[in-house]
Amino acid sequence: MGGIDLALSRGGIHGLAGESGSGKTMTALAVLGLLPGGMTASGSIRLADTEGPGAGSDSGFTELVGAPRGVLQGVRGRRVAMVFQDPSTSLHPQLPVGRQLTDHMRHHLGLGKPEARAKAEALLDRVRVPDARGALSKYPHQFSGGQRQRIAIAVALACDPTVLLADEPTTALDVTVQAGVLQLLRELADGGDLSILLVTHDLGVMSAVADEVTVMRQGLVVESAPRQQLFTAPRDEYTRSLLAALPGSSFEQAGEDAR
């Protein structure tokens, strides 16, 4: 992979699409310094400070590439949270769901036990996990694939992060439940305190919530544009072919004719 340039604006949703295996997950993992052994990131990944002396100015940022472990640990889960593509990576199999949500809140936000539980229950409710209170004492394996995915989203949101890296967060959801999750993400971003990197291969999802869209192929960015421009006037050949493969896009007809 080489030369990926991405910027997340405050309160914006930046979509990342592209071929399977093109490097979308690795891009997100690089931000948190979680690349698998043998891979290293070079370049620069800067996280704007929200507190401290430089907050709000151009100089107030934390460099994440090559940052010491302590810095990355302070950032992970607190300022930058991730929903992993595989929900089993986000969740600990041997801990009840409630603990996974409240431990972080108590540690990072200093909440008391009852407050943390109440917040956890409210979060589960928002992502439509049935019987949110009862769910707190269950283990991940007692949920369906899509329920686990929603729990992972709740865990990521638990500590009010400023950046959410969401890697295919709705693949296991039917479209009715997905609609609720997309609404939640949009509301959180519109609130202005959260910026989202949304990795999704689903261009319908992309079209619904992304403000900016970047398309990757074989480890490279092939195109990056505001949503509407990307969907209506794609410049790159690969982006065009992706849109042509879709039912309901303005390019479908043209795509079929071309074949």
Ligand X SMILES: Nc1ncnc2c1ncn2[C@@H]1O[C@H](COP(=O)(O)OP(=O)(O)OP(=O)(O)O)[C@@H](O)[C@H]1O
Q: Compute φ and ψ for 12, nearest 5 degrees.
A: -105, 160
Nearer to ligand X, 18 or 169 (CB): 18
The strand order across the sheet containing 220-226 reads 80-83, 163-167, 195-199, 13-18, 212-217, 220-226
CB of 51 to another protein, least distance (A): 32
Of residues 227, 197, 210, 230, the one with CA closest to residue 27: 197
Strand locations in 28-132, DSSP E?
46-48, 61-63, 80-83
CA torsion sign, 155 to 157 to 160 to 161? positive
- State yes or no: residue 147 binds ligand X (CB under 6 A): yes
Residues 18-47 touching ligand X, rule: CB under 6 A, are: 18, 20-26, 36
243 makes contact, choosing from Mg ion, ligand X, another protein, none, with CB < 5 to 8 Å by partner type, with: another protein
Question: 63 and 45 in contact (C-beta within 8 Å)?
Answer: yes
Nearer to ligand X, 29 or 48 (CB): 29
Q: Pick one of 44, 141, 187, 193: the residue that binds ligand X (CB under 6 A).
A: 141
- Binding segment (CB under 6 A) for ligand X, from list 41-49, 88-96, 145-153, 231-239: 145-153
CB of 11 to ligand X, least distance (A): 25
CA torsion sign, 103 to 106 to 109 to 112? positive
Contact residues for another protein, defined by CB under 8 A: 17-21, 24-25, 36, 85-88, 130, 142-147, 149-150, 167-168, 171-180, 182-183, 186, 201-209, 211, 227-228, 230-232, 241-243, 245-250, 256, 259
Contact footprint for ligand X (CB under 6 A): 18, 20-26, 36, 85, 141-147, 172, 201
